Each structure stands twice: as C-alpha cells, then as structure tokens.
Amino acid sequence: MKILNLLSKITFLIAILCSFGLNLSAQTADEGKTLFNANCTACHAINDKVVGPALKDVHKRREEAWLLKWIKNSQALIKSGDATAVQLYKENNNVLMTSFETLSDNQIKSIVAYVKAESEAPAAAVVASVAPTAASSATQTNWESIINYLLLLIGILLIAIISLVFKILARIGDIQGKPVINWNSVNAILMILFLVIGMGAAFWEFYAHGKLTVFNQGPASEHGAEYDNMFMITFALTGVVFVITQVLLFWYGFKYKSDGKRKALFYPDNHKIEMWWTIVPAIVLTVLVIRGLITWNHMMYKKEDNARKIEIFAYQFGWNARYAGTDNKLGAHNFREVGKVNALGVDTNDVNSYDDIITNELHLEVNQPIDIAFRAKDVIHSALMPHFRVQMNVVPGLPTKFSFKPTLTTAEMRKKLGKPEFDYILLCNKICGSAHYRMKMLIVVDTKEEYQKWLNTQSVLVAGKVAPKAVAIK
C-alpha cells in the first residue's frame, strides 16, 4: 500500500514537471513569435525566401552557439573568417544582415524555439487548427461587436439625458424670468482654466523633458553650434509671440464675456495698427529667412579639398556605408546591378570601385571633413544624425548629399555626458514600413589613429585589383 502511494506521488510529481516543462516551452515559443514578428519578418519567413533565406529547420542546420553569434553581429562573424558566415554572406549577394546586439541570448533562443516549432508543425495539424482558430476569432469578434454596440447605446442615452436636463433647466429659467446657468460666465471661466492648465503643462513639459533632447547635449559637428544658435533664436521669438497671443486671446474671452448689457463696438479698421502688425513680422521673418539661407548655403556648399568620400545606402530596413579607398574616389553606381553583383549596386568594372569598402557601421575621423552621398534602394528614407545636426532625405534614383565635420569623438561625448554607454546613431526619420522603428546604424567617431586602425581591418570590394591596405588622407 505504501509503495502504491509512493508511486502515485511520483507519478503526480512527474506529471506536474512535464506540464510545467511544456508550458515553459510554449511560453518560450510564444515570446519568440512576438520577437520574430517585431524583428525578423521584414527580411525572413519560415518557408519562403524574402530578402534573406527561408528559416525552416535552421535549428538543424546550425548550432545554437553559432546562431547566437550570427544574429547578434553577423558582420563580426564574417570578419572573423568563419567559413559558414562567409558562405552565407556570398550566397545572399553580399547583403549584410542587421545586427541585433540589443537582443539577449534568451530572446534569441526564444526566436529559434519559435522557428523550430513552426518548422516541425505538420501541415495537417496546421490545416486542422485553422477552423477552430477562425471560429474562436469570429466568436471574439462577435463579442467585441456586441460590447461596441452597448457602449454606443449607453453614449446615446447619456447624451439624451444631458439634453433633457438642459431643457428642464431652460424651462425653469423661462418660468423664473432669468437663466438658471449663465453659460457666458461658465465659458469665460473655462477659458481661463484652459489657459492656466495648458500653459502650466507646456512649461512643465519643457522643464521635465527638455533635458532629454539632443539640444541639451550640445552639437558634435562644426556647423552644429551655428545651427543650434539659429534654432534657439527662432524658438525664443516664436515662443514669446505664442505666449503673448494665447494670454490675450483667452483673457479677452474672459474679460469681455457678454452680460446682456454691453453692446459690441463696430470697429472696421485701423490702418496704423494694421501697418505695424504687418511690417514688424515681415522684417523679423525676412531676417530669419535670410540668415537661414546663409546658414544653409554655408553648410551645404562648403567645399573641403581633403574631404573624405562616403556613401550611405538605405534599404528596408537598414543601412550600409561605402568608403572610398586610397584614391578617395567612390566607384560608379548602377541601380540595375543591385542584388546581382553586390547589395549596393556598385559597378565593379569601374577601377575606382576596386578599393571601396562596405560596412554596416559608420566610422568617422574627428575633425576630418566628410562628404556623404545618400542613396535608397526601395522607398524614401530620411537619414537623421541628431548629434551632428544632419538630416537628409534619401530618395530612390535621386542621390542627395551633405558635408560636415565631426568635432567630438565617441569617447569625448561619453565623458562629457557622463554616460559610458552612449553611442552616436544614424536613424531613419521617415516612416518607411513595418520595421521602420529599428532602422538604425551605429556611428563611431574615432581619433585619427583609431580610425586608421579600424580602416586597415576592412576588406576592399574587389580583392587583388589594388593594394588592400588603406592610407589616411593627408
């Protein structure tokens, strides 16, 4: 009897552990599905090739440790000479996979668990599960519709009740010979409340979150100081005008509320007032616009003979950087070659392209002028480098450009901000698709020595045609 009791307890314990294990596996796969949809669907599918290869049975083809390294930073794995990584890179037309260093090992394992579950799910089971899922979804939709109709009905009833109350109050006012509620006074008080609360909230927002903006961190480029100065002057002028006009607007609404006794004065025009409120804003705006044009021309058309040539290539949903080699000349670009010979469509028949370097990180040398050309593969993107005060639309078929000089290395900015984890970053500032939010690239500003050391570790586009060793621009 004791043995039976012991066996029953052991069986119960094993059942609980198995149940927990299955539940934990399901949770991991469910988390992996969420992460997969958020980070991977732009380039991958389970059974079909999209931008990247199909991922079915990837857990069988690759070891888990290798997958962790590949997903976190594929470029580092390629540079290390890993044979599998290099082969994958070449098989996919030298398209660099986006790095996911922000994902933890457990999150990546969850993604792999989801891919494994989807890969091993039998087709019959998938088909069989469609009907119940659809039925469940339909039931949920019906309940949502019923709740929405009930909420709509409640809203209509509330409006009807409020309308009835007002009619009763109006009837009482007619009987008494005076209105029960003076709506002019109520609206006037509400205007003052709106002014005080709105202005208070606006000033609190600037006080509480203004320190989080890049303007509070200072510019990291030569033209940034002039840009910030122009922005702050414009912001101060428009801010003062905004406060004055809003205060007057709501104060007049309160002070000159109708009391049934005051009669409005017909005041058709005043030429002197109209002249001043036309001339003064015109002069201020003219000064601002002219200064803006001068600043823009200085930023855009300032030519530096020793400027380093770099091209930024945008695609859904990532960035690549192409550096000119020792000749400081970028090879020609041919959009017809995108994806055939290389991901960026660089014309490898052009001798200037032999020593070009392609990376998925943007390294810049401090105090070195940079000429950046921007190209897009698919849709309109917008390259934003907030700390350098640089933003430029990236348009398919229409190259754009910008020139600037970084003035603070990454290490110097980290020390200045007291944030050892700080990094410069290139973002897409144009909503370009489902994974727009993660379209970013790391920017590293190095000293001259650090930059040259990094550049010497990069591979040229066409090996063997020119000496692969890069030489710094004098």
DSSP one-letter string for 55-119 = -TTHHHHS-HHHHHHHHH-HHHHHHTT-HHHHHHHHHTTTPPPPP-TTS-HHHHHHHHHHHHHHH
Segment (H or E) for 208 = helix 183-209
Percent of the chain at pLDDT above 70?
Answer: 84
Residues 403 and 323 in one domain: yes
What is the pLDDT at residue 93? 58
Q: What pTM was estimated for this model as a whole?
A: 0.64
**Calpha distance 341→329 (Å, rounded):** 20
What is the pLDDT at residue 77? 78
Residues 312 and 450 in one domain: yes
What is the pLDDT at residue 20? 40
Residue 464 domain-assigned (yes or no): no
Q: Using an 8 Å Cβ cutoff, are 113 and 25 in contact?
A: yes
Q: Using an 8 Å Cβ cutoff, are 191 and 254 in contact?
A: yes
Instruction: Identify which of 27-36, 122-131, 150-159, 209-218 has the greatest average pLDDT.
Output: 150-159
124-141: buried (b, 16+ CB within 10 Å) or exposed (e) per residue? Answer: eeeeeeeeeeeeeeeeee
Gap between the terminal Cα atoms of the chain: 91
Residue finishing a domain among 121, 154, 171: 121
Residue 401 domain-assigned (yes or no): yes
Q: How confident is the model at residue 101 (pLDDT cuts 50, 70, 90)?
A: low
Choice among 6-10, 191-195, 410-414 with the minimum mean pLDDT: 6-10
pLDDT mean over 95-122: 76
Residues 81 and 163 in one domain: no
Residues 435 and 318 in one domain: yes
What is the pLDDT at residue 11? 45
Residues 9 and 91 in one domain: yes
Instruction: Identify which of 35-44, 118-127, 461-470 has the greatest average pLDDT.
Output: 35-44
**Calpha distance 468→462 (Å, rounded):** 9
Residue 472 domain-assigned (yes or no): no
In the chain, the number of structural domains is 5
pLDDT mean over 108-133: 65
Sorted by sequence, the CB contacts under 8 Å of residue 71 that are 6+ apart come out as: 100, 103, 108, 111
Residues 362 and 286 in one domain: no
What is the pLDDT at residue 50? 62
- Please tell me what DSSP assigns to residue 407: -
Residues 379 and 433 in one domain: yes
What is the pLDDT at residue 306? 86
Residue 384 domain-assigned (yes or no): yes
Give the mean pLDDT of the chain. 81
Residues 452 and 313 in one domain: yes
Reply yes or no on whether the pLDDT at 348 is more than 70: yes
Residue 324: is it exposed, middle or buried by C-beta count within 10 angstroms (0-12/13-18/19+)? buried
Which domain range does residue 29 map to?
Answer: 2-121
Q: How confident is the model at residue 119 (pLDDT cuts 50, 70, 90)?
A: confident
Residue finishing a domain among 277, 302, 327: 302
pLDDT mean over 365-380: 93
